[in-house]
Structure 1
Amino acid sequence: MANAVVSGQLSERQRSLAFATVLIAFVMDVVDSTIVNTALPAIQTALTASDGAMQWVVSGYFLTFAVLLVVGGRLGDLFGYARMFVIGVVGFTLASLACGLARDGSALSIARLAQGAAAAIMAPQGVALIQLLYSPTERIGRLAAFGVIGGLAAIGGPVIGGLLIEWSPLGLGWRSVFLINLPFGVLALIAGLTLLPPGRSGQALRPDVPGTLLLFAALGTSLLPLIEGRAAGWPWWTAVAGIASTGLWYAFWSYEQRRRTVIGSALIEPSLFADSSFRIGLTATAGFAMASAGFLLTFSLTLQRGLDYAPIDVALLHVPFGLGVMAGISQIGRKALPRHGRRVPMTGALTMATGCLATALALWMALPTIVIGGALLLAGIGMGTLSGPLGPITLAHVDRNHAGVAGAMHKTVQQIGGALGTALIATIYFTIVPDQRQQSIPAAFLVTTAVVALDLLILVLLLRRLPERLFER
C-alpha cells in the first residue's frame, strides 16, 4: 500500500496539529526516562529497595524501550502510524498507573519494563509521521524542534520529579512522578484519535520475531552483569554473560543481514548503513546517550545521598542545565546546522565534557552553589549543541519507505546507550562507595564524570569523519 500521507496533501494547520499531537507523547516519553532520577532516594526509602532494584527501575525502562522500539517502528510501517500511536499511548498510560500503585521494588521494576515497552510502540510513530509530513529541508526545523523540546524535557524530568516529591500533591509522595502521566495520556489519546492522519510504509513488510528475541537477549546479557554483578560479588556467571552478550550481538547482526537478503524484510534495515551520516550519527547518538544518562543519574545521587540536598534543591540545580540545553539547541536551527555542519556537534561534545568535569570538581571541592550552577549551565549548552544535530544528521538521507524503522533505529540506539550508560556509570559509582560513606561520594562522582568526559572526547574524533556537506547528496 502506498504512503497515505505526503507533505503536499495536508494544510499547514493540519500538519501543525498532527505535529503537536506527537509532541505530547514525545515529551511524556522523554520526561519518564529521567523523572525518576530525583525521586530514586525517596522511592528506595519508601520501598526499602536495594541499589540493584533502583538501577533496574532506571535501566529497565531503557531495556524494553530499546528492544521493542524497532518493532514498534515496523508495526507502524505495517499497520499504520496513527493506529499504533494510539495503542502505545493507551499502554503507556496504564503502565504509568501500575508504577504509581507499586508496593515494592520488584513490582515497580516490572511496571517500568511495561512502561518502556508501551513507549516503544508510541514513540517511533511520531518520527515516522514527521518524515512523511515534511520535506527533507522542512524536517531539519521540525527535528531541531524535537531536539529543543526533548532536551528540555530530559532536564525537566528531574526538575518535575523534585518538585513533586517536595510538594507531594494529594499526599502521593513519590507516586505522583508516575501518576502525573494520566491526564496527559488521556489528552494524547483524544488528540491521536482525532488529529493524526493515516499513513504507513509503501513496502510490504513482515514482523521479525527471531530478530526481536536476539536483540532482547543481547541487550539483556549486557545489562545483567553490570547491574547484578557488584552486589553478587562478581561471580563467574558475570564473565559468561559478558562473553555471551558479544556473541549474541554478532548473531543478531548476521541474522538480520541474512533475513533482509532472503525474505526482504528485517527488524532493522541493513541498507541504511551504506550512508556514512546514518552510521556515524547512530554511533555518536549511543555515545552521547551513555554520557548524558550516566552523568544525570550520578549527579542526582551525589547531591541527595552524599551532600544531603533536598529534592527541591536538586530540582532547582537542574534549572541552569535546562537553560543551557535550550540555549545550545537554539543555535543549531534551520540555518546553523546546514551552514556549519559537523563543527556544531563537535563543539557541543567538547563543551559538554568541560562543563561536566567542572561540575564534578565544584562538588568535590564543595564550592558555592552559584559556581556549580555555572558549570551546569556550560554542560547544558554543550548537551544542547551536541544532541540537537544528531537526529537531523542521522536521518538526513533516509528513504521515506523506511521512515518508521529508521526513526526507530535512531531512538533504539539512544535507549541502548541510556541503558548501558546508567548501568555502567552507576556500577562504577556504587563500587567506589559500597558502604555509602558521604565523604567518598563526591569523589565517586568525579571519577564517573571523568569516564563521561572521555566518552565525549571520543565522540569528537568520531564526528570528524562526517562529510563536510551534511544535507546535500
Structure 2
Amino acid sequence: MTALAAPALAVNLTERQKSLAYLTLMVALVLEIVDVTIVNTALPVIEQDFGAAAAQAQWVAAGYSLAFALLLMLGGRLGDAFGYNRLFIGGVAGFTFASLLCGMSASPDQLIAARVLQGAAGAMMAPQVMALIQVLFEPLERVAKLAWVGVIGGLSAICGPIIGGVLIHANLFDLGWRSVFLINVPVGVVAVMVARRLLPDARSPLARGIDGGGTMLFAASMAALLYPLVRGHDLGWQPWHLALLIAAPVMMALVWRRTLRRRRRGEPTLFAPELFHQRQFSFGLAIALSFGAATGGFLFVFAFGAQKLLGFSPLQTGLLHIPFSAGVMLGIAFLGRKLVTSHGKWVLVGGISLMALFAGGTLLWIESGVPFWWALPCLALAGTGMGMTSGPLTPVILARVDRSHAGAASGLIKTVQELGMALGIAVVGTAFFAGGATGAVGAVLPAVAAIEGLMLICFVLALQLPAPLFPEQDA
C-alpha cells in the first residue's frame, strides 16, 4: 500500500470510537474470509436442492475466489485514489447485497453470478482494512492490531466449514443452505452504519491511477484458463476449450509485456515488475500459488466427498474440520513462525511434506472405508502441515522485499493465494468429478493424484529457497 494521507485524522476519535471502528473492520474481514470456505460444506446440499451439475457446484466455490483475486489489486488502487473509507463502505454494501442475492437465488446460474458479485465486492472491501488500520492507529498501536488481524483471519478461514455445517443443521426459519449467505445481511448492514459514522476520510497522496486495460487482460487470461478446466469434461472437451487453454499463457505474456512497457513510461501498472527480480520473492509466490491450489482442492473434495460418498450430514462434515483447524492453529502459532527463523526453509519443506502425506491419507479414508478414527489424526497432522507452511510463508516471501514495495507485494501475495484456491477447485475438482464412472458422484484417487502433484511442485520450489531466508542472518 502506498503512503497514507493525514493519519492524524484518527486523533478526533475517542479510544472507544477507534475500538468500534477497528471491530467493524474485523467484522468485514471475517465476512470476506469465511465466505471463501463456508460454502464447501453447503455445496452438496445446494447441488441436491437445485439438481445442479458438478461443474456448476465448482463454479459456486471458484467464482468467488476468482473474482476476488482478479480485482483485489484494482481494489487497493481505487482505495488509494478515491478514499479508503468510501471503498470500504461501498465494498461492504456490495458484499451484503450480493449475499442477499445468493440467499434468494432460484437457480445454479443465479447463485454463481451472485457469488462472482460477492467476490468482486470483497475485493473492493478487503484492501482497505489494512490501510484504515494504519490511519486509525499510531505505529506502536498497530503492532497488536495487525497481530490480531492474522489470528482472526486464520480462525475465520478454518472455522468457515464448521459454521456452515452448524447453520445448515439448525435450519433457521427453514432456510436450509440459504442461511449460510443470508446471515451476512444483518451483519453487513450494521457494519455499513457504523463505518459511515466512525471511519476517517483518508486517501493516498501518491495515487497514480489504475491500469484498466491490464486488469481486464489479466482477468481474461485467468478466465481462459479456468473455464475449460471446469467445464471441459462436462461439455465433452470441444476444440475451443483447447484454444482457450493455449490463449491463456499468451495473454499472460501480453500482461507482462504491457506492465514492463508502462513501467518504463512511468504510467500506472497492474503490479510492480521489479518485485520479480528478487529470487526469493518469485519462488515464494510460486509456492503460494501451488500450495493454495492444493489446499483449496483438498478442502473442496473433502467436504464434498464426506457428504456425497460417505453420507455425512453438513453438521457432521463441519465438525470433522475441528481436528484440521486445531492442527492449523498449532502449526501457525507454535511451530511455523517460531521455527522458521532457526530452521529456515526446512520448516516449509516439513510442513509441505506433512500436508501432502496426511491430506492424501484423509481422502483415502473416504475412498477405502477404513474406520472413522483413522481420519482424525490424519486431519490433525494435515492441518499442522498447512499451518507450518502458510504461517511463515508470507514473511518469507516479503523478507527481502524493499519496504517501499511492501504494500504492493502484500497485495500480490493475497491475489496469488486466491487464484490458487480457484485453480485448485478447478483442477482437483475436475479430477474428482471426471474420474468417477458414469453416473457416479466422483472418484477420490484422481483427486489425490492432482493434490500430490501440486504438493510435489511446492516441495521442489521450497528446496530452491536460499538457506538464510532473512537478511539479518546473512552474516
1:454 aligns with 2:456: yes
Higher mean C-alpha displacement, 39-48 vs 150-159:
150-159
Would the alpha carbon gap of residues 443 and 291 (structure 1) be closer, same or farther in structure 2, given more than 3 Å must change?
A: closer
- Secondary structure of 1:331's match? helix
Q: Distance in 2 between matches of 1:466 and 1:90?
A: 46
Maintained 8 Å contact 1:74/1:267? no
- Secondary structure of 2:332's match? helix
Maintained 8 Å contact 1:102/1:108? yes
Q: Distance in 2 between matches of 1:321 and 1:414?
A: 19
Q: Distance in 2 between matches of 1:333 and 1:114?
A: 35
- How does the TM-score come out when normalised to structure 1? 0.90
1:4 aligns with 2:37: no
Q: Distance in 2 between matches of 1:339 and 1:133?
A: 35
Equivalent in the alignment of 2:469:
468
Would the alpha carbon gap of residues 71 and 465 (structure 1) be closer, same or farther in structure 2, given more than 3 Å must change?
A: same
- How does the TM-score come out when normalised to structure 2? 0.90
Give how far 1:135 is off: 9.2
Equivalent in the alignment of 1:325:
328
Would the alpha carbon gap of residues 232 and 454 (structure 1) be closer, same or farther in structure 2, given more than 3 Å must change?
A: same
The one-letter amino acid of 1:413's match is: V
- Secondary structure of 2:434's match? helix
User: What are the equivalent positions in structure 2 for 1:328-407 lying under 5 Å apart?
Assistant: 328-331=331-334, 336-396=339-399, 404-407=407-410
The one-letter amino acid of 2:462's match is: V
Equivalent in the alignment of 1:260:
263
Maintained 8 Å contact 2:336/2:389? no
Unpaired segments of 5 or more residues in structure 2? none
Q: Distance in 2 between matches of 1:403 and 1:187?
A: 32
Match of 2:174 among 171, 176, 189: 171
Percent identical across equivalent pairs? 43
Q: Distance in 2 between matches of 1:415 and 1:398?
A: 21
Give how far 1:313 is off: 1.2
- Secondary structure of 1:35's match? helix
Equivalent in the alignment of 1:296:
299
Match of 2:96 among 93, 98, 103: 93
Match of 2:239 among 233, 236, 253: 236
The one-letter amino acid of 2:357's match is: T
Q: CA RMSD in A?
A: 3.0
Unpaired segments of 5 or more residues in structure 1? none
Would the alpha carbon gap of residues 373 and 421 (structure 1) be closer, same or farther in structure 2, given more than 3 Å must change?
A: same
Q: Distance in 2 between matches of 1:329 and 1:253?
A: 34
Instruction: Describe the superposition over 1:74-108 as per-residue Cα deviations: whole angstroms up to 9, x where unpaired.
Output: 11121222221111111111100000000001111
User: Number of matched residues?
Assistant: 471
Give how far 1:312 is off: 1.4
Q: Distance in 2 between matches of 1:470 and 1:311?
A: 47
Higher mean C-alpha displacement, 315-324 vs 4-13:
4-13
Would the alpha carbon gap of residues 137 and 450 (structure 1) be closer, same or farther in structure 2, given more than 3 Å must change?
A: farther
Instruction: Describe the superposition over 1:25-62 as per-residue Cα deviations: whole angstroms up to 9, x where unpaired.
Output: 22111111111111111111111221111111111111
The one-letter amino acid of 1:201's match is: S
- Secondary structure of 2:269's match? coil
Q: Distance in 1 between matches of 2:449 and 2:107?
A: 32
Match of 2:443 among 433, 441, 444: 441
Instruction: Describe the superposition over 1:289-316 as per-residue Cα deviations: whole angstroms up to 9, x where unpaired.
Output: 1011000001111111111111111111
Give how far 1:404 is off: 4.8
Higher mean C-alpha displacement, 198-207 vs 373-382:
198-207
The one-letter amino acid of 1:38's match is: T
Maintained 8 Å contact 2:290/2:454? no
The one-letter amino acid of 2:459's match is: L
Higher mean C-alpha displacement, 3-12 vs 322-331:
3-12
Higher mean C-alpha displacement, 134-143 vs 445-454:
134-143
Match of 1:59 among 57, 62, 75: 62
- Secondary structure of 1:3's match? coil
Give how far 1:459 is off: 4.3
Maintained 8 Å contact 1:202/1:401? no
- Secondary structure of 2:470's match? coil
Instruction: Describe the superposition over 1:382-433 as per-residue Cα deviations: whole angstroms up to 9, x where unpaired.
Output: 1112112223333456566655543322211111111111101111111101
Q: Distance in 2 between matches of 1:457 and 1:114?
A: 35
Would the alpha carbon gap of residues 136 and 295 (structure 1) be closer, same or farther in structure 2, given more than 3 Å must change?
A: farther
Maintained 8 Å contact 2:4/2:131? no
Maintained 8 Å contact 1:73/1:121? yes
Would the alpha carbon gap of residues 471 and 408 (structure 1) be closer, same or farther in structure 2, given more than 3 Å must change?
A: farther
Give how far 1:453 is off: 3.6
Equivalent in the alignment of 2:38:
35
Maintained 8 Å contact 1:353/1:456? no
Would the alpha carbon gap of residues 321 and 286 (structure 1) be closer, same or farther in structure 2, given more than 3 Å must change?
A: same
The one-letter amino acid of 1:173's match is: G
Would the alpha carbon gap of residues 159 and 9 (structure 1) be closer, same or farther in structure 2, given more than 3 Å must change?
A: closer
Q: Distance in 1 between matches of 2:326 and 2:189?
A: 29
Q: Distance in 2 between matches of 1:135 and 1:283?
A: 34
Equivalent in the alignment of 1:149:
152
Q: Distance in 1 between matches of 2:128 and 2:473?
A: 26
User: What are the equivalent positions in structure 2 for 1:74-89 lying under 5 Å apart?
Assistant: 74-89=77-92
Maintained 8 Å contact 2:307/2:313? yes
Maintained 8 Å contact 1:321/1:379? yes
User: What are the equivalent positions in structure 2 for 1:243-254 lying under 5 Å apart?
Assistant: 243-254=246-257
Equivalent in the alignment of 1:103:
106
